[in-house]
Every structure is written in C-alpha cells, then in structure tokens.
Structure 1
C-alpha cells in the first residue's frame, strides 16, 4: 500500500512536470543571411515578393528601428547567440582583421577570434538545460559543429559562411541532395519540418538560419519569369536575387503551415530578422546609406518582427531601437528561465514591450569595429582609410 502511495505521488509529479513543460512556449529564431532592411514587403519593398513573411508580420509587432549588433555575419551571429557585444566574445569580423596592405595600414590589427569561445554559454545550451529540445538549421559559422554548443540536432551547419552553391553538390554544406536539382533552401526546410514533426509535446527551440540570401546569387529558375521584366523600385532590380528572396518566403510559409497543422503555432514565439544589411552591389536600402560591412545604417539596420499568438497584439508597430543582443534575455524571460549566474548580457529583455506594450527606457546602442572597412560600398568608403591611395582591389569584399 505504501509503495502504491509513492507510485501515485511520482505519477502526479511527472504529470505536473509534463504539463508545466508543455506550457513553455516553443521558440523560433528566423535569422536570414544578408537580407536588407527594405528587402521584404512589410518594410516597404515593392519589388521583392514575401507574402508569407508579410502575413506573419501583420499578426505581430514590427520594429522600424531594429539593428544587428555587427555589420557582417560572424560577429552578429556570435552576439545574438551569446547575448554579448563583440569585445566580450572577441569575434569582430570574418577571417583576419589585417585588412589592406601592411605598408598603408595605420591601425594595428586587433586579435580576432574565428571561433566562439567554448566556455561562452549560448542560448541553446541554457534552453536545453531547461527541458527544450534544440535544433539548428542552416548556417552556423561560429564553430565546426553547433552540437557542441547546446543543439541536439544540426541540419547543415558548420564553420562555413556561405554554401558555395545552392545547387548540388552544395560544396561547403554537409548535406546530401536527394535529387540533382534540389535547391539548398528547400532541402534545409525539408529537414527542419522533419524535426518539428518529431517534437511531440516537448517544447523546442529552432534556430532557422538558412544560408539564403547570401551569395552566390543563384536564381530559383522556376521563379525568374516573374522578375525578368518587373519594374525596379528604390534601387531594387536584381531578378536573380528576387527569386532567392521569394523562395525563402515560400519555405517559411511551409513552416507556418506545419506549425498550424500540428497545433503548435499558437504557443510559439517567433523572432524574424537578418544578421546584417543587404549587399550594396545587389540590393539597395534607400534612404539608408551603404550596406553589408558598413556601419552606416544600411549595414546594420534590419527588418524585425515578433509573433506570439494572443501574447503580442497583432498589427502593432514600434519605433523603439532594439538589437539582436536583446534576443537572449527576451527568450529566457519568455521561457520563464532566469539568467544563469555569472552570465553577462549586454542586451535587455523586450518582452514587456512585446506583451504589455510598455515603453522601455532609452539606452545607447554600441558597435565596435576596430578594423578597416573593405570595398563594395561606394557610399561608405572612408577617405581617411583610403587616403594612401589604396586601390579597391587591394581590399577585397570578404565581409
């Protein structure tokens, strides 16, 4: 009888634990690569077609003044995952910080980490410790394998900053193509949906970070006809890039459909943004100046919206300046998780703004890039850095 009593207590505890766990929100961070501030319909583009993204944005809160924590891929993603700005994790740029020819260089190249430090506690590890199943899908760029930093599942992520090719073979991406013409963005979503379907009632964290729309610009051939003769808008007129944007939108539409079908959408917090500005030679963000790699607005200002059914009021907009540094504390608060002891965060939770409409205190946003800017941004070449008559090809475009 006594054993039966203990068994009953254990079953009640497990039941309560499972119930509490099921009430934790699923969390999805959609981090697009090199998508500019104006490269989606909900931010005003009349050229790119993003109906699925726009529809989801209309059901949440759109931020007009959202920023990446860096103007190129690796440092921005490191800051998002760690919740810390660049001097803390030491990733300032991609590759070497010794830019330009040494005979012209006046700055002493700063030590640059190409890998996120192993002891830096990233979002997925904290969430996994709180009962979440975690999945990375797409570009990682911070180490050789995202599994070593808290992800249970890795779909195509490694240290590569771009895929090499969106058509098979994908070169730098460790995924096998099921057919000879399978587009990479579609394959990554196929595998992502497989993951979502296996989560059952357990809360999950999905970092959906497709390599798109990073170079190489390789069009989705079935969509080209829509853009070949389309009227340009505000400096946006690249048909090949437009097909990549629309195809990405189609994949996100597939994700939303599956979430809705599985009755998971209503309890899912979604944050959508980009890691840095659009590539200036490919897409323009007017009236913002320059693009990726530059610390003018075109290089760091991003599209951003947050969706959470019945928690975030639909159709709302905010001009409060936010940064992807704010994602870490916001996610933890939404999940009911305390900030780990000794973890320093440089952002703040914007959950009170999202779910209660509270106006947050004004605060400064900082960027630190003690490295020469490279070429590729005609609107942002600093005359001080090129005063030594360094020719453009001496600098490269390796942002």
Structure 2
C-alpha cells in the first residue's frame, strides 16, 4: 500500500510538472513611445535614471542591434501588430505623407494608409483565438478602436497619436478615472487592475503615451535632474522626469506580477516604436533621431525576459526588428505560425543561445516626406527633411540608403562607423551592387510602391 502511494505521488508530481512546463506563458509587450536607444541606463545613459527597467533587462537578453521597422509611430506599430513589412499594410507615416513645403518636394509621395485594414491578422487576434485574454493599455494609433483588432480590454487606446495633455482633463484620451492624475500613472493603474484580476493566460500590450510630446514634467521628479550635468546631448530635465516616471510604473508592473506569482511564467518584451526625438534627447554616437532612417531614428533599446528559457545577463549583437516579436511570441505560446504570412523570424534560437549567427537582410521603406523639426539643429541628409522618399537595407554590418528623388546611394559599415559619418558608396561599388540587388528583389517581392511622379510645384531648390 505504501509503495502504491509513493508511486501515485510520483506520477502526480510528474503530471503536475508537465502541466506546469506546458502552461502557456503570459505575454507582455512594453512598447514605449519615442524612447531612444540610449534613453535608458542599461544602454549606457549617464543622465536618465531607469533602475527598474535596468533590473528587468538584467533578467534576460539585451539586443544591442534592435530595430523598429519604421522611424515613426504608426507604421512601426502596424508592423509590430501584423508582423509584416510596411509595403504590405501601406502605413508609412502619420497622415498625410506630404509633410513639409511642397516647393521642396521633387516627387509626389505615395499616399499613406491612415487606418490598419481589418484584412490583416493581428497578434492579439491570434492569441485570442488560442485562449488568451488580451488587453491593450495606452497608445494604439492604428484605428478608432483596438477592440476590433483582437483585444478584449481597451485602456485609453484610440486613433490619436499623442495626448493633448498628460494632466486631466486629457481631452483626446478616453480613460477610466482612478486614484492617479498623471496619464502615465493612470494607464498603469488600470493595467494593474487587469493583471490583478485576470485568471487565464493573458497578453498585455502596454504601450504608454510616454515619452511622446507634449513634454510635460512630473514636477516632483524634475529637481533631481536639474541638479545633474547634461551628458552627450541629454539634459532636458522635464523629459527626464517623464522617463523616470515611466520607469517607476514599469517597476509597479513587475511587482504586481511577482505578487501574483506570474512573473516566472511571463514573456516580457521591451522596446520602443522609434528613435528618440532629436533636440529633446540625443543618442550619440548614433546619427539623427525620430523620423530619420539613420540609426538614431530606428535603433531601439530592446530585450526579452522569460525565466527558465532565456538566461539572465545575456547580450546579443544579432540585428533584429520588431517584426520578429510576433513569431517569437507565438513560438513561446506554442502556436503554429505556418498559416500566417509573417515577415519576421522567431528569435528563440538566439534567445536560448542555440545559435550565435542569425543573418538575414532587414529592410525599411519610406516613399514619403517628413519635415525637419529644426533646420538649424539636425543630422539629416539635408536640413529640410528628416526623411526624403527612399529605402534602406541592412545586411551584416553593411547598411545602404537609397533615395528615389535622385537615385542617390549612401553606404556605411556600422561595425566601424555606427554614427554613419563616412559614406563608402564610391569606394565599395561591389557592396553597393550586392545590397542594391537585394533591395530591388525585396521591392518586387513586397510590391513596394515607389514614387516616380514629378511634383509640378517643386522649386528646384535643394537636392
């Protein structure tokens, strides 16, 4: 009898362990708005203080070559939600695509898609179909209502790309009132209610409006940064208070997960939708910032955490993009991706250190114009635009920029020149030809629209 009881206990323990091992992980994607590559401590900032984010990053793998798939908000978010390159969904910017003075635009840009088409299968839809409870918290920016795209709960998400105010009344942000006043705090307060009550495996798309403009200080935090010396172009105390406050809120999220014993079975992805806003913050040695396709506009802080699968305190130089989040999440959720048309790749082999090399070309396509914020202080190709119509491809350490207005090409070796200061196009025609052929093949595969119509209002001033 005693032997039978022991055997039964062992079988039960094994069964429980198997169920635990097979339990679908909770998913949290933290997609910060306009946070630059070096706007956090774990990426080297000596001005901004982000102890909670730094701690979280230490529990998993940090990617030093992590990219957004676009250099501004809406297209990057559309790529993340669909797992597809921009030509497939047609969202290239925040409408319209004719930004900047018409007389300075040589071409008629491709018309922008303002709302994500419901024909696209989104990440929350797939997770919802596979037993997940899904919650969006914060900025959505792709339609009027995220509930129509697979989310069960919507906290403050709409078509707006920024709040008119971080203090009440928030005007264009609809959110349930709570104990908090500052919008970043209130979004997290409501998100914590969701985490505290959900009983099934869940997906939380935490996408705070912070740290997007308007730059509205958290007054209690500002004095700390006013006492600090600026560092490498970072010295805006009001913006720093927003970063600091966001970090505090992420700390509250981690605390809640641990209180509910959910942390160890939660896959956490941390990134930003595009580069930091140049002039408010800088990402030296990276060139330029949000809206540009130089590194400062697209390279992001990026890490993954999952206890038992991803070793803590690990780093990778493998170039990745936020397109890879969709297939990676589904891999760890145990969901088959075979029927989905995803342009990214599961990063599980890299995250679990099965491979060190994970080489494939990465692409960016922007057949549109984005005006410069400050013609007197920028690191763009010319002072009038952060972006002129073109495409970019990166393969290995090499990165090629191609411009549609004049067929101009820039070539950089990012290993030797991360700041993209030394154009090697004329001295390395072989590499130019190789990358250009890869880019042209990609244009054809994705049916990428290329602007060719001349603008009759162009004043022939600058090129």
3-state SS, counterpart of residue 34 of structure 2 = coil
For 1:69-108, what aligned pairs fall within 5 Å after superposition?
69-108=69-108
TM-score, normalised to structure 1's length? 0.89
Of 240, 245, 250 in structure 2, the residue corresponding to residue 247 of structure 1 is 245
Unaligned regions of 5+ residues in structure 2, if any? Answer: 1-14, 389-457
Q: Which residue of 1 aligns with 2:361?
A: 364
Matches within 5 A, 1:76-155: 76-155=76-155
CA shift at 1:373, angstroms?
3.3
Which residue in the other structure is 2:346 paired with? Answer: 349
Instruction: Check the 8 A contact 2:318/2:358 in 1, yes or no.
Output: no
Q: In the TM superposition, what is the alpha-carbon distance from 1:224 to its structure 2 partner?
A: 1.0
3-state SS of paired residue (2:113): coil
The match for 2:373 is 376
CA deviation profile, 1:103-152 (whole Å, cap 9, x unmatched): 44321221211000011000000000000000000000001010000000
Alignment counterpart, residue 333 of structure 2, candidates 323, 326, 335: 335
Distance 1:69 1:139 in 2: 17
After TM superposition, the structure 1 stretch with the greater mean CA deviation from structure 2, 20-29 or 60-69, is 20-29
> Rg: which structure is higher?
2
Over 3 Å counting, the alpha-carbon distance change for 1:21 and 1:352 in structure 2 is closer
Q: CA deviation at 1:229?
A: 2.0
Q: Give the CA deviation at 1:32.
A: 0.1
**Alignment match, 1:33:** 33
Local SS of the residue matching 2:114: coil
Q: 1: distance between equivalents of 2:332 and 2:220?
A: 40
Q: How many residues align?
A: 372
Query: What's the TM-score, normalizing by structure 2?
Result: 0.77
The aligned counterpart of 2:182 is: 183
Shift of 1:358: 1.8
Shift of 1:160: 0.4
CA distance in 2, matches of 1:164, 1:100: 22
- Partner residue, 1:395: none
Q: Shift in Å at residue 100 of structure 1?
A: 3.0
Q: How does 1:221-236 map to 2 (within 5 A)?
A: 221-236=219-234
CA contact (8 A) 2:124 2:134 kept: yes
CA contact (8 A) 2:178 2:189 kept: no
Provide the alpha-carbon RMSD of the alignment. Answer: 2.0
Residue in 2 that maps onto 1:10: none
Match for residue 320 of structure 1 among 318, 325, 328: 318
Q: Equivalent residues in 2 for 1:151-300 (5 A)?
A: 151-178=151-178, 182-200=181-199, 202-300=200-298
SS at match of 2:283: coil
